[in-house]
Amino acid sequence: MDKSIFDIMRIFKKRWKIILAFTLAISVGIFLMTIIFIKPQYEATTKMFIGKDTNLSEGYDSNDINLYQQLSKTYSELIESRNTIISAIELAGIDKSPEEVSKNLNVFSMEGTQIIKISYRSEDPEDTFNFINSISDEFIQRAAYLIPNVNIQVLENAIYPEKSVSPNIPLTIVISVFMGMIIGIGVSTLFEMIDSTYKGKDQLEEEFRIPVIGEIPKFREDKKS
């Protein structure tokens, strides 16, 4: 086994209390900070399909598919526009500015499809649910006005967010334990570097390049009763 492995094992054996203390302290500290200072975030998502008006007699061809895929990108910009967001805020009855909402609104034109995915996060599950439905309704109305003869359907309805999506407590615990161990090992290694005493005959032989011909065994005298 490599000598450095023995050194690491020796540090673990000698300084395990320091490593354990740092691991526990940092893990508990980060966990409490996460619980106290980071507010839960709730997310709701809906998907919209963009296609040809079903009232038109012509069928689909490759040009139509390409057209509506390109149109999906235009509609994504429409959803994220300030006017659409303001109208959706008023419709949902939430007390947030357009800038606050915009930061937590994500719109994806799913590549190679005619599907738009809309997701929104906030600290209130009811506001989240109401807003995602409001912006979907507002988008459908505005899109029908701007570009008629386009079929826009809700492909996947938003589900009321019962559970928060962040912070991720299990992941936070794993990361905090890992950080605590790394810091504990780092501190223990620093103590070893500061400690100038010799730890055994191998270290003496390596340092002075002479053989050690004998050792005084370490013993503890039993206390007399």
Residue 62 region by backbone torsions, left for phi larger than 0, else alpha for psi between -120 and 50, else beta: alpha
Higher confidence at residue 15 or residue 181? 181
In b/e form, how buried is each residue of 182-206, taking b as 16+ CB within 10 angstroms? ebbbeebeeeeeeeeeeeeeeeeee
CA–CA separation, 15 and 10 (whole Å): 8
42-156, what's its fold? Alpha-Beta Plaits (3.30.70)
Residues in the chain: 225
| 165-218 pLDDT per residue, tens | 988 888 888 888 888 888 888 888 787 777 666 556 666 666 666 676 666 666
- Residue 225 binned pLDDT confidence (cut-offs 50, 70, 90): very low
Domain boundaries, the chain: 3-37+168-208, 42-156
- Least confident residue range of 4-8, 14-18, 21-25: 4-8
Q: Which of 96, 74, 57, 27 is nearest to 19 (CA)?
A: 27
Which tokens is 9 given?
A: 């094992």
Report the amino acid identity of residue 187. Answer: V
Residue 136 has pLDDT above 60, yes or no: yes
Residue 225, helix vs strand vs coil: coil
Q: Angle CA(196)–CA(24)–CA(177) in degrees, nearest 5?
A: 95
Using only the alpha carbons of the chain, give its radius of gyration: 32
Pairwise pLDDT comparison (55 vs 42), residue with the higher score = 42
- Min mean pLDDT across 97-101, 133-137, 147-151, 182-186 is at 147-151
Q: Is the pLDDT of residue 14 over 80?
A: no
pLDDT at site 144: 85
pLDDT over 60 (residue 221) = no
pLDDT at 125: 95
pLDDT on residue 147: 81
Q: Is residue 137 over pLDDT 90?
A: yes
The rounded mean pLDDT for the chain is 82
